[in-house]
Amino acid sequence: MTDAVNVDYSTSIPNNVDLGSDRRVLKALEQWHPGYLDWWGRMGPEGFQEALVYLRTAVSVDPKGWAIFDYVRMPQYRWGILLAPQEEGRRIPCGEHAGEPAWQDVPGEYRAMLRRLIVIQGDTEPASVEQQRHLGVTAPSLYDLRNLFQVNVEEGRHLWAMVYLLQKYFGRDGREEAEELLRRSSGDPDHPRMLGAFNEATPDWLSFFMFTFFTDRDGKMQLEALSQSGFDPLSRTCRFMLTEEAHHMFVGETGIGRVIQRTCEAMRTAGVDDPYDIDQVRGLGVIDLPTIQKKANLHFSLSLDLFGSEISTNAANAFNAGIKGRHRESKLGDDHRLLDATYPVLRLGNGGIRTVEEPALTAINARLRDDYVHDCAGGIGRWNKMIARTGTPFEFKLPHVAFNRRIGEFAGVHADPDGKLIDEAEWQAGMAKWLPSPEDRAFIESLMQPEYAPGRFAPWIAPPRAGIDNKPGEFEYVKIAG
Ligand SMILES: [Fe+2]
Ligand SMILES: [Fe+2]
């Protein structure tokens, strides 16, 4: 039995949506399951499929205690369908239907729009698993290896979450989309994933931490916006996904933080004062801070592209329809319709970049991107405090949003990290200073040697301050032999 908070494990697919009495959807999911496991085997983590991994599994959607931790072989992970509890009397929070009761079924007029949003979200989830599949062989510790796999199985579950919505609410074309989600793959020249950043390689652990900090954070912002949907099942699905996503943010922020900490400590111990003396710092076997800044520049700019064009009628339509809200829509103090409102957007003009008041409705993407930048800046600030405590004269900075863009207002121009427009020659000349060069990548790669002894860490990264599930430092998070 399901009581909406606790999860039913008696059906083949754990769930809190009463699949036991929804035979049609249960059957559709059961038919999709072997294809999913086949995908996991082909495109999921390379190796380690027999390893026992100390994973959390959701057993409830109660925010106070929703997961249990135990050793699991990844292919046996219980990927389930979990929705946050239905909110009594919930209303559509924005757009022309604002204030009307939230939809429990797909509103016919918005069916295509809704399906597309769900498919795009769904496509990113398995994509990141594919991008990260080679990382296990170079894990800097069992702790990090476990965190990688935790993120991977949860991204897998997020795919299940979107597939459930497609199969339950979109009939035959929903089932077809669910199959397609297993057919595309990251970086595939013929069937790539739908969004650019999800076709980039994640070749090393610094890239992984950058990805979870910057790109998973885009995911978080998109889920925040979709959790404000007037289509209640989508809202409830995304609200629970955000609970899991918090751990992915943690992995990124603390991962980069530990790399920075180790670098600063190694410099201090060796008496190296100049963080820009790259050869000397690298000679200590740690990653110099300017290279970490370049990696941040790259991943930040790639992730900004995921927000789409600043000015977008699609985004306006989705908001106006009540299908996708703004970040924290229900907490915002305006009329939630935005018919006469404006929003300041950075645009090109007069040979530079300036702020223009645009109709707020068409500036929905720009606004979500601004909220994202603000969220990123919080993490940067915490790293800088840490660096300051070690006395190292260095500060990380987010590059300007015009830097290194492929999509939107700044796709057709070159800007330096301060947002100054530059010509092609200046761009070519500056690139090696601003973005990781082949030499930088080769250096990072040279550090990627696995450390699988319990409680030990590769020399380029500091241990975490606390274990997962309060486990002690020596804890064997992954039993590799299984
Ligand atoms: Fe996800
Ligand atoms: Fe994530």
pLDDT in tens, 174-190: 999 999 999 999 999 99
Facing residues of 478 across strands?
Answer: 53
pLDDT at 2: 41
Residue 120 burial (CB count, 10 A): 15
pLDDT at 99: 97
Question: CA–CA separation, 247 vs 253, rounded Å?
Answer: 10
Helix (H, G, I), strand (E, B) or coil at 170: coil
Question: CA 352 → CA 47, 134, 346, 391, 434, distances in Å?
Answer: 50, 42, 10, 37, 20
For 97-117, write each residue's pLDDT tens digit.
999 999 999 999 999 999 999
Contact of 7 with 15, CB cutoff 8 Å: yes
Nearest Cα to Cα of residue 148 among 479, 430, 477, 453 = 477
pLDDT at 18 over 70: yes
Residue that has been written with the tokens 């200046």 in this structure: 426
Instruction: For residue 207, report the distance from its CA to the centre of ligand 1, in Å.
Output: 17
476's CB contacts (< 8 A; 6+ apart) are 54, 142, 454
For 372-431, write each residue's pLDDT tens digit.
999 999 999 999 999 999 999 999 999 999 999 999 999 999 999 999 999 999 999 999
Question: CA–CA separation, 201 vs 219, rounded Å?
Answer: 17
Contact of 73 with 151, CB cutoff 8 Å: no
DSSP annotation string for 185-214: -TT-SSS--SSGGGGS---SHHHHHHIIII
Residues with CB under 5 A from ligand 2 (ion): 216, 245, 248
Instruction: For residue 151, report the distance from its CA to the centre of ligand 2, in Å.
Output: 6
Q: Which ligand is nearest to the CA of 150?
A: 2
Facing residues of 175 across strands?
Answer: none
189-195: Cβ within 8 A, 24+ apart: 193/123, 193/124, 193/127, 193/130, 194/119, 194/120, 194/123, 194/124, 195/120, 195/123, 195/124, 195/127, 195/306
Q: What is the mean pLDDT of residues 228-238?
A: 98
Positive or negative, the Cα torsion across 409, 415, 420, 426?
negative
Mean pLDDT taken over the chain: 96
Per-residue confidence band for 59, with pLDDT thresholds at 50, 70 and 90 = confident
Question: CA 445 → CA 24, 94, 188, 293, 440, distances in Å?
Answer: 49, 47, 23, 17, 9
Question: CA 251 → CA 71, 256, 444, 467, 481, distances in Å?
Answer: 20, 8, 19, 12, 25
pLDDT at 1: 39
pLDDT at 351: 87
Instruction: For residue 241, report the distance from its CA to the centre of ligand 1, in Å.
Output: 7
Instruction: For residue 70, report the distance from its CA to the centre of ligand 1, in Å.
Output: 21
For 19-58, write each residue's pLDDT tens digit.
999 999 999 999 999 999 999 999 999 999 999 999 999 8
Q: What is the mean pLDDT of residues 192-204?
A: 93
Q: Which ligand is nearest to the CA of 245?
A: 2
Q: At what angle do helices 232-270 and 289-304 cross, to 10 degrees?
A: 160
pLDDT at 4 over 70: no
In the chain, how long is the greatest CA-to-CA distance? Answer: 67
Instruction: For residue 264, report the distance from its CA to the centre of ligand 1, in Å.
Output: 32
Contact of 148 with 252, CB cutoff 8 Å: no
- The span from the first CA to the last CA of the chain, in angstroms, equals 33
Instruction: For residue 207, report the distance from its CA to the centre of ligand 2, in Å.
Output: 15
Q: What percent of the chain has pLDDT over 70?
A: 99
**Which residue blocks in 2-138 are alpha helix, DSSP H?**
23-43, 111-131
Q: What is the mean pLDDT of residues 355-363?
A: 98
Instruction: For residue 243, report the distance from its CA to the centre of ligand 2, in Å.
Output: 10
Nearest Cα to Cα of residue 2 among 13, 18, 14, 24 = 18
Nearest Cα to Cα of residue 394 among 235, 249, 272, 242 = 272
Instruction: For residue 216, report the distance from its CA to the centre of ligand 2, in Å.
Output: 5
Helix (H, G, I), strand (E, B) or coil at 470: helix
420's CB contacts (< 8 A; 6+ apart) are none
